[in-house]
Structure 1
Amino acid sequence: MSRPRKPKGRPVSGWLILDKPVDFGSTEAVGKIKWLFNAQKAGHAGTLDPLASGMLPIALGDATKTVPYVMDGRKIYEFTVTWGEERSTDDLEGEVTQTSDTRPDEAAIRALLPAYTGTISQVPPQFSAIKIAGERAYDLARDGETVEIPSRDVEIHRLTLLKVETDRAFFEVECGKGTYVRSLARDFGRELGCYGHISDLRRTFVAPFAEETMVPLAELVALEAIEDRDERLAALDAFLVDTGEALSALPQIRISDDQAHRLRMGNPIILRGRDAPVAEPEAVALAGGKLVAIGEIGQGEFRPKRVFV
């Protein structure tokens, strides 16, 4: 009987809030960070297109268990729409499919914004990661197929016009999970009768991580110059955000070390005290400020769903 393989890399855990550069894919970025940190596991929360820059939260080790909670968080993008051309990818990368000499004025653009605020129906771009009959839409699009992608409801919390120039307009949007900013640009252009596409896109916020926590990739790569391995890895680890930060929106309970041990063994713990929560579908258990488990509270117990080393 063969022994299970020992995982390659370090069991390092935490979030690296990467400032992704343009022309660098999200999967490529995750691979680079995993290699730099010599991490056993890595994943990201929310894809950024190669032509987009900005915040790409990357989870290492146990933090990968918290990715869904970050995926569900609000996001903020700054983006530029260039008028006069619609493109196959709804950004600079694609071929021009429609053109117009019409250019909207500021009043027309501002009048459009209320219709794109709140819960709106949106059709994702042809070049997107949406699955159609088990295949990614972008794979079908690259093969020359035009597919019918069903519309879906997305939440636009705030949409602000920042500046207007003759051929382009600058916006900021705060939105919920699943929103395609490229679709906003496409739909703006169609409704204004001038066509449009994204010519610049930057994500500045993914809840709950603030913009100032972002680390440029070049700053991390520069640490490769440190010859001492332990010193180099320590310098990289200093950029990590604690895994529990991803769960800051969930109710929290403080527990003892003995209770933490029980939870890590997969057992429930009894919650005592007048201030103990009665019922929560999801809550976080912390021991000494460190994340122990995500679980459910009910009938006077905390029952673990996911545990952390």
Structure 2
Amino acid sequence: MRGYLVVIFLSSIFLYYLLHCILWRTNDYGVSPLDLIKTNKSNIQYCKKKPPFISLLRFPRFYPFLCAGDFEKSTYAYSSRNFALPYGTKISGGFFRAVLSLLPSCDVFDEFDKVPCKKCVVVGNGGVLKNKTLGAKIDSYDVIIRMNNGPVLGHEEEVGRRTTFRLFYPESVFSDPTQNDPNTTAVLIAFKPQDLRWLIEILTGSKIATDGFWKQPALNLIYNRSQIRILDPYITREAAYHFLHFPKVFPKDQKPKHPTTGIIAITMAFHICSEVHLAGFKYNFLSPNSPLHYYGNATMALMKQNAYHNVAAEQLFLTNIIKKKMVINLTQD
């Protein structure tokens, strides 16, 4: 009798494994059916040629934005429901569902965009962009990714005119309507529940609660609903744990470190582009009085005071992917 039970048990395991392989069979990129469903829905045309950074990615075709229609399925499939913000949806699922219900689209590219092999540039806000006159070069890319409130107006010769995606959080988003570009997709990186609540209040015209922010968030949004997307926390989690190798639990005497918006932008680019170039990601720590950004008067000394980022780890990561030619650095001296 015991022998029969062992046979039944082993047969069940084999059948489960067989069904798992059939139902979750992957292609040569290692992509599950869930990835394909999401990408087909949003009309992403992937390049058949594998990009040089493909080995870095656990899910090479991971869809970068959250969608109302498959929120539950995607957060379960990629374990996001097991992590609290900023790297998951645990506890904050209600906020995510509420804000996604207010957004009419989660598409990455326009439905008429049929270009399969996207050549992208991620434009950092570093002072290294000063006097490089890379504007025309940057504008020549298929996709231009910028972050936070790095301005374009008045700096076109250095950083170009076009913006495809701009990643932001409530404390860093533009509030000046002159900075709006109707062709830009604005991507919210949620670091805390208040970020999602803030967007809900802005979109519904409610009174904006400003508690819980490290500085006052924008009180108005220059982008309309159709321009806004919510970045899947998995992208930030991948940047933190896989690229920068941050610990999942920091010692009690240390403030938790999180990836900068720039590293998160590069991570997103790896999932939607076939070629990624960088500009404006070099920091000159040997000269504390050198400009931190290509705009404004902030100096490198300010970056050294930041307790929430591990700039050394980020520079090591950038040096590694540049050295291995996974990306091209346009501002490499």
TM-score per shorter chain, which class? under 0.3
Between Structure 1 and Structure 2, the one with more strand by share is: 1
How high is the TM-score relative to the length of structure 1?
0.22
